[in-house]
Structure 1
Amino acid sequence: MQVNHFHDHYEIYYLLSGKRYYFIQDRSYFIQEGDLVFIDKNQLHKTRNVDEETHERILLSFDDRWIRSIGEDASTHLLVPFVQKQHVFSLSGTNRTLVENLLFQLLREQQQALGGWQLNSRALFTQLLIFCSRMTDRISTAQDHAPQSHNPKIFEIVAYINEHYRNRLTLASISETFYISPSYFCRSFKETTGFSFVEYLNNVRIREAQRLLRETKLKVIHIAEQSGFDSVAHFGRVFKQVTSQTPLECRKLMRLSQ
């Protein structure tokens, strides 16, 4: 997960073995084997190592077009886990067995590609989402912080960035506002979130720029300003770095997909 720290599709992450830290939006989670992670579209997220041990995971994603293809009221039932405040759920016993069976069946369908595999994959995935929606209120939650990385001040700064990204934010201004040394802040921010300060700020700003490109008819120069960039040239460079597209290319693709 080196790039694309947010995207316009939904994501399910299941950890088969090992341990990971998972930063989502403004919190860090410590996840272990048997944990399900639900990532809503356009949520900033990133995983990182706990130690040197290897890990195995299954990653599934889908978009709104797929949801709409199921039926008009599909989102009411299938997107429940993605709109909850808690992103991580720990599975055990029969719940874990059932979910893993569905996941492995999905993998086999993809690998074998027998007649009707796409239709069966669709049915299996729908069944998985329905089961996850039904169990959301019943299963226990995973730990909601990352041991050895939990730092309340860093999460306070993350919340501040999420709210004030339109303003001029620098390492010096953040350090002064929160009475924290620049070197300690950089180190702690990276350890807690997995992002560098600049990387996180740029992702927050580009996510807002994409929203404006999609939902408004504002010119690129005005979108750059409203997203917190000092110049349209800098905005264009960062946008291309984060999304691999220019702002105008992104707007065109968004309109074609609507």
Structure 2
Amino acid sequence: MKRDRDFTKNVGYFRNEYQIQYIIDGERYYFESGIRCVKMAAGSVAFIDKRRIPKLNIIGGRYHDRILIEIKEAEFAPICQAVGIDMERVFSQRCGVFQTGKCEEIRDVFEKIEKTITDRGTEQRELRLRMLILNLLVCSSQLEKFREKNFHSASMQGSLEKQKRVCMIADYLAGHYEEHENVDELAGRFYMSRSYLCRIFKEVTNFTVSEYVNLFRIAASREYLLNREMTMTEIANRLGFNSLTYFERVFKQLMSVTPGEYRKQYLGARGKRRD
């Protein structure tokens, strides 16, 4: 995935899959609420745990050329289990950024993945790709020596204070997403103007405040939807949505299915496993 100019996407993103990203050239920024904001440059690898996606985002930066792998758990977990890999555990332990630089071994793995992806005429292409990704997961423990330990890269020291303030706001929102606090009240809580808060929050996270809060609400709603006793209206009210219609619209926007379809899909899948 190439981007031939500075990154100027207007909204954040939300995915419901495990991700691995590898930067071939250019740069991006990895943001984790309350913990770190680091620059990813050529050779950087990011493992993203789908259960933590509301607190993670890879944003900003200049032009970049990257490999993005999204792994659907339902399709890939059985393959991992067959070879003794606990995919959930791998992404939980490896979640974060690894600055591999010019490590030839890591670069070679991703070059093979890239070649397989682009070589569409090759037979058994998908099988080869799956095997390469499995190999990457098996060898992921070797990445630990490259883990990014600094909270902020040297090139970002000039904006360190802004990053800290946004992290404080993001952490607060992560713990209070069920409440109905508006942006004016939030700005007063952190002693800044509404316009300044909105501007720096979007700059750092690539989300508006309401978009960021809704990520946590939808993540929580997925758990509530597995409780057959809770109605849609009860879930919407508990999570701070001002109407059932708004909850359903936001859920469909982020998850590509309605809350009702999600509940039917996952409760049905659980029933089949029990059978």
Report the TM-score when normalising by structure 1.
0.85
Q: Does 1:218 align with 2:226?
A: no
Cα distance per residue 1:188-226 (max 9 Å; x no partner): 101111111111111221121122213554110111122
Identity %: 28
Alignment length (residue pairs): 252
Q: Give 1:200's aligned residue.
A: 212
2:139 to 127, 131, 135: 131
- For the residue of structure 1 that corresponds to 2:70, the secondary structure is strand
* Residues 47 and 94, structure 2, Cα contact 8 Å, conserved in 1: no
Instruction: Tell me how far apart the structure 2 counterparts of residues 121 and 67 of structure 1 sit (CA, whole Å).
Output: 15
Q: CA deviation at 1:230?
A: 2.7
Inter-CA distance 18–257: structure 2 relative to 1 (3 Å threshold): farther
Q: Give 2:148's aligned residue.
A: 141
Inter-CA distance 36–214: structure 2 relative to 1 (3 Å threshold): farther
Instruction: Tell me how far apart the structure 2 counterparts of residues 246 and 48 of structure 1 sit (CA, whole Å).
Output: 27
Instruction: Tell me how far apart the structure 2 counterparts of residues 179 and 59 of structure 1 sit (CA, whole Å).
Output: 39
Q: Which moved more, 1:78-87 or 1:219-228?
A: 78-87
Q: CA deviation at 1:125?
A: 1.4
2:99 to 90, 104, 120: 90
Inter-CA distance 187–125: structure 2 relative to 1 (3 Å threshold): same
Q: CA deviation at 1:168?
A: 1.3
Instruction: Tell me how far apart the structure 2 counterparts of residues 79 and 105 of structure 1 sit (CA, whole Å).
Output: 27
The amino acid that maps onto 2:209 is F
Instruction: Tell me how far apart the structure 2 counterparts of residues 74 and 117 of structure 1 sit (CA, whole Å).
Output: 23
Inter-CA distance 252–237: structure 2 relative to 1 (3 Å threshold): same
Q: Give 1:112's aligned residue.
A: 121
Q: Does 1:100 align with 2:107?
A: no
Instruction: Tell me how far apart the structure 2 counterparts of residues 75 and 3 of structure 1 sit (CA, whole Å).
Output: 35
Q: CA deviation at 1:10?
A: 0.6
Q: CA deviation at 1:73?
A: 7.1
Q: Which moved more, 1:198-207 or 1:67-76?
A: 67-76
Q: Does 1:152 align with 2:164?
A: yes
Q: What RMSD over aligned residues (CA atoms) do the two structures have, in Å?
A: 2.6
Q: Give 1:30's aligned residue.
A: 39
Q: Which consecutive unaligned segments of at least 5 residues does structure 1 have?
A: none
**Deviant stretches of 4+, over 4 Å:** 1-4, 78-81
Q: CA deviation at 1:160?
A: 0.7
* Residues 106 and 125, structure 1, Cα contact 8 Å, conserved in 2: no
Taking the TM superposition and a 5 Å limit, the aligned residue runs for 1:237-256 are: 237-256=249-268
The amino acid that maps onto 2:13 is H
- For the residue of structure 2 that corresponds to 1:84, the secondary structure is helix
- For the residue of structure 2 that corresponds to 1:136, the secondary structure is helix
Instruction: Tell me how far apart the structure 2 counterparts of residues 142 and 17 of structure 1 sit (CA, whole Å).
Output: 21
The amino acid that maps onto 1:201 is V
Instruction: Tell me how far apart the structure 1 counterparts of residues 240 and 89 of structure 2 sit (CA, whole Å).
Output: 33
Q: Give 2:129's aligned residue.
A: 121
Taking the TM superposition and a 5 Å limit, the aligned residue runs for 1:231-242 are: 231-242=243-254
The amino acid that maps onto 2:198 is C
* Residues 4 and 242, structure 1, Cα contact 8 Å, conserved in 2: no
Inter-CA distance 121–242: structure 2 relative to 1 (3 Å threshold): closer
Q: CA deviation at 1:237?
A: 2.7
Inter-CA distance 10–198: structure 2 relative to 1 (3 Å threshold): same
Inter-CA distance 73–122: structure 2 relative to 1 (3 Å threshold): closer
Instruction: Tell me how far apart the structure 2 counterparts of residues 60 and 86 of structure 1 sit (CA, whole Å).
Output: 14
